[in-house]
Structure 1
Amino acid sequence: MKARDIALNVGVAIIGLLVLFPLLWMLSVSFMSTGEAANFPPPLIPNRWTLDHYRDLFVNQGMGRYMVNSLALATMATGLALLFTVPAGYAFAKLRFAGRDRLFQLLIGALVIPAQIGTLPLFLMLKSMGLVNTYAGALVPWLASIFGLFLIRQYALSIPDEMLEAARIDGASESQIFRRIVLPTLTPILVTLGLFVFLGSWNDFLWPLIILTDQSNYTLPVALAALSREHVQDVELMMAGAVITVAPVLILFLALQRFYIRGMLAGSVKG
């Protein structure tokens, strides 16, 4: 192996270690005894490993309920986003209708508008509909994102028109073409978009904080922020809560990264 290759590998390893170090230290601190992380210099590994903080979170702080809330909300957001976005993205890519290109350009132009600008009008609209402090209200921003529409549309452009025309000549209806040809072809980008939506919904803090007023409906990020106000000095407990919040989505991402990478590289930027 050449010296340059060795140097490159060492550099990549160092960068990877620097990136992973905060996560590894967070995990280590979560197993420390109360107050141990406040020592100087901060210890890297616990002197005595303990699960007391995790036990406290689930037994006394109700973290199990918040985890179920986050899981339910993220799962529903992912399913509904795919349900609405995938047919729309395919229609913009392969179906002809009046004003298609103009409408798509208008939607893409809306991407430059910060999402926070629409927070107040959306909240007032949902309040008038009686959807404040409901999961239905929390799900609204995820139903049909413009970015997801763009992602599906760009990938669907890679589907050969000849394949669709051959199916139509054979007598297949549009719904049959969509179910039997389009959806299997779009599998990598469906997983990619689903992962985006799930991670975004799971990690979202601002909108659930605004729309969910009842503490029993809190998601993990909101519950962890509320808990930090009461236990700001308990670093070990906060780190345990952070591990509970991060670990599920990290495991999910690692399990699906093969589909994610394929979806991002195979066709999501075509067109």
Structure 2
Amino acid sequence: MNAIRQCGYAFGSIVTAAPQAAIYRRFVRSVPETPARAVVPVVHSVALDNISFQYPGAPEPTLADVSLHACRGELVALVGVNGAGKSTAVNLLIGALRPHRGRVLINGDDVSALSEGERLAHFGLLVQEFGRFEFTLRDTVGLGAPGAVTDRDIRAALSGSFAAELPLDTQLGQQWGGTGISGGQWQRLALARIRLRSAGVWILDEPTSAIDAEAEREIFAELRRTSAGRITIVVSHRAWTLRGMDRIYVIDAGAVVQQGTYDELMNHPDGRFARLFATQAEGI
């Protein structure tokens, strides 16, 4: 009886999963095959030029006449409360959204005519919902890399992380009988993927949200130390991580309301930035 019961459960699972499997197969077939495109390792500047964007059905624009720029060698931060428009600005920059007005510029050129692949080749992106890809360590870090990469490249990307000495064939993820790792360790692997990709622009949305304070300080110290060869754009809610930024854009209600260095912005106690970070600044 138990065997029959288990068989019934298994059959029910198959019936339940069949529609989802069919949707997945249709999605995979719908994606056109495109040749691998080499990553662009050197980008001199990126900018949003008087960008406006409004989501369908929204009563007000999410962004209205927003302009910001970043040049090679700079660390630039976007800050603001949830819903202020930071993620929308990032999605407009990489091409996930199309502006209703204004231009997106890379190296001073309007990129509206570029294909998706050509646009994305300029960027390495780490979002808050970093992927937990339960493959081998080698395959997990190698995702998104341009073409074939060597084990030496992967080792270099893992340098300084918990996985630096692990065998590259280590299976990750307990559901596959592999090694279980913490959320912070998954995030360190996501950072290693960005490092391995080595695109000209790094966009890091809360890149240390799951990492302890000591590891966070090490990561931001490394970002500053290695920043000369790329553009680094960081979205962060932690005041101390903003002290080393070359420029901070404060976005509020869809507009850039302030910009400057950390010290410049904190010297305006009535400004939006100082009000957002006053409590955190006391502990720095």
Whether TM exceeds 0.5 here: the answer is no
User: If the length of structure 2 is used for normalisation, what is the TM-score?
Assistant: 0.27
Q: Which has the larger radius of gyration?
A: 1
More strand by share: 2
Question: When the two structures are superposed, what TM-score results if normalisation uses the length of structure 1?
Answer: 0.28
